[in-house]
Amino acid sequence: MQKSETPTETELMLKGYGLTTAEVFYRMPDYRHVLNTFVWQDYDIAPDHPKLFSFIEFWQDSIEGPLHSVRFTHRKMISSGEWRNVVGEFRYH
């Protein structure tokens, strides 16, 4: 059995992914006048946000609470020009 090839967070960031946080406002299934919130976070690529829109489609197809609105932000944590591999050791005493 082989180990799955899931990339690490650092590998995703070096490939251009950034952290996307979405606040989903939805109506309660039994009480349509009541709004509730759900926070979703994942590494995604701006400006298309394929993972976010895939999650929204999943919500609309599978969850009973209808969406009211979605507010999101995207933060690119690191880019390939900002990271460099340093090999060495520093000893203090």
pLDDT tens-digit readout, 26-77:
999 999 999 999 999 999 998 899 999 999 999 999 999 999 999 999 988 7
Burial class (CB in 10 A: 0-12, 13-18, 19+), 79: exposed
Residue 81 lies in a domain: no
Judged by DSSP in three states, 86 sits in coil
Q: Could you tell me if 50 and 57 are in contact, meaning their C-beta atoms sit under 8 angstroms apart?
A: no
Number of domains in the chain: 1
Q: What is the structure's pLDDT at 14?
A: 81
pTM of the full predicted structure? 0.74
With 50 as the cut, is the pLDDT of residue 1 above it?
Answer: no
Residue 25 lies in a domain: yes
Residue 44 lies in a domain: yes
Q: What is the structure's pLDDT at 85?
A: 62
What phi and psi, each to the nearest 5 degrees, are found at residue 75? -130, 120
Q: What is the structure's pLDDT at 21?
A: 94
For residue 48, what are the domain limits?
11-76
Q: What is the structure's pLDDT at 69?
A: 92
Residue 69 lies in a domain: yes
Residue 82 lies in a domain: no
